[in-house]
Structure 1
Amino acid sequence: MKRALVIRHVAHEGIAGYRRPLETAGYAIEGAAACEPCLARIDPLAPDLLIVMGGPMGVYEQVEHPWLRREIALIRERLAAGLPTLGVCLGAQLIAAALGAAVHRGPAREIGFAPLTLTAAGRTAPLAALAGVPMLHWHGDTFDLPAGARLLARTALYHQAFAVGDHVLALQFHAEMGEDPRFDHWLANDAAQIVEAGLDPAQLRRDHDRLGPAAVAAGQTMLGGWLAGLAARRAAA
């Protein structure tokens, strides 16, 4: 069975709705915490798929979180080997950093459901499944587009997705989180930032209940398509 290793930075940001397409594609899912001892035990070339999830820390906060340097080095080694890698939010930013791009604070926090603007490259599979579907956004940092990457999606403020070759997919948004009950942890943990952004937590919860299922379904279709592409290329190799 193929092995997918998921690096998590906080307990309430897991693969959530992405579990179904991963298991359907035949992956056994394992988890690892992004802490110094845990990262030291990871062979970056061993998993068939590496998935790097989100978290509240910034890529540039390496003094406060020194393990970020090891994580970026781990991702860089994997990317150099051309191995399948998926990043979500902070994970996408870490992939950008591993590819030499700058990661920095953006002009404003982007929180809540909003559709993506797909580029010409993004309007093809697999992101075509997301066209017109509001996605959950929850970030205040952004990244420059890495050299050689294809921009797949954006919003007015931020890059939202890029690909490198067919084996690297970086997603700033959270298509995995539209139904997960851990969303309540997001509301509680970021209460001050939500208010600062002029948003109502109760409205975010209502939006999650109303828009989340469609977002997750589209995200599952997207990820399933990307995984199918990996399988096809692996079979042809």
Structure 2
Amino acid sequence: MHNFPKTIYAIQHLAFEDLGALEDIFYQKGYRIRYVEAGVDDLRTALQYDGLTIILGGPIGVNDVADYPFLCDEIELLKTRLQARQPTLGICLGAQLMAKALGAEVYAGPTKEIGWSTLMLSETNHSILAPLANTHVLHWHGDTFDLPEHTIHLAASNQYTNQAFQYGKSLGLQFHLEVDAEHLEKWLIGHHTELKQAQINIQQLRQDNQTYALPLMVKAREVILNYMNYLKM
């Protein structure tokens, strides 16, 4: 796949959860970004695409299909996409949707994992996530998933076993790799109700954002460049 398509589709489930710091990396490498809004736009454009499609996070759950019927279509399209081995990067809700499309269970976890911590990376050869060793990443989820069959486990956290998996040229990341240090205040405002319900100390989280977001942006660049190089092989 030497002539890898130069457009990247990104499916959003919430306006301020965008590609963040990853957007500049893609632009610098000559890629164009096309955002598609879940629940509003036709997702077939993004999910039937031969190039890279990224499925971003959001506050709804994979199993909220009664309230958000578009999730049924998204999961079905994703199932077909993954069976066709088209490259897909899922972040948080995106990873949960991928797990569901691959036949795994997605369900509420025992605790909300919101905040920064390091990952325990699996000892796999040439892991795309290797740059994240000893790096704090941002977690922001209440749901979790079983590891789908025929996938490679890539990472765990202290609270959740399944934090990342690989399926061919697709990656599912439960944690947030894309955070942009300058824009995390939007998350603190937009997710106010959830943060209060989960009894998260917002001032502490803001301080942690200022400590850990910039180092993560450096490592996220390495991860994305690793991934894009892998897709071109």
TM interval, shorter chain, is over 0.9
Give the direction of change, closer, same or farther, for the CA distance of 1:97–1:180 in structure 2 (3 Å limit).
Answer: farther
Q: Give the partner amino acid of 1:66.
A: P
For structure 1, the residue ranges without an aligned partner over 5 or more in a row are none
* CA-based RMSD: 1.6
Per-residue CA deviation, residues 125-174 of structure 1 (Å, 9 max, x unaligned), is 32110000000111111011000011100112221100012x10111111
1:13 equivalent in structure 2 = 17
Unaligned runs of 5+ in 2: none
Alignment partner of 1:118 is 2:121: yes
Runs of 4+ aligned structure 1 residues displaced above 6 Å come to: none
User: Residue 163 of structure 2 aligns to a residue in which SS?
Assistant: strand
User: Which of 33, 39, 44 is the matching residue for 2:37?
Assistant: 33
Paired residue for 2:7, among 3, 14, 31?
3
Distance 1:45 1:194 in 2: 35
The TM-score, its normalising length taken from structure 1, stands at 0.91
**Secondary structure at the counterpart of residue 42 of structure 2:** helix
**Paired residues, what number?**
228
Residue number in structure 2 paired with 1:190: 191
* Identity of matched residues, %: 37
CA displacement at 1:229 relative to structure 2: 1.0
Hey, what does 1:136 align to over in structure 2?
A: 138
Distance 1:134 1:40, change over 3 A: closer
Output aligned runs, 1:1-237, within 5 Å: 2-35=6-39, 38-39=41-42, 41-42=44-45, 44-121=47-124, 124-158=126-160, 159-165=162-168, 167-181=169-183, 183-231=184-232, 233=233
Greater alpha carbon shift after TM alignment, 44-53 vs 87-96: 44-53
Deviations 1:24-68 (A, max 9, x none): 343211110001x51355263324111000000000000010000
TM-score, length of structure 2 as denominator length:
0.92
Q: In the aligned structure 1, how far is the partner of 2:108 from the partner of 2:114?
A: 14
The alpha-carbon deviation at position 21 of structure 1 amounts to 2.7
Q: CA deviation at 1:228?
A: 0.8
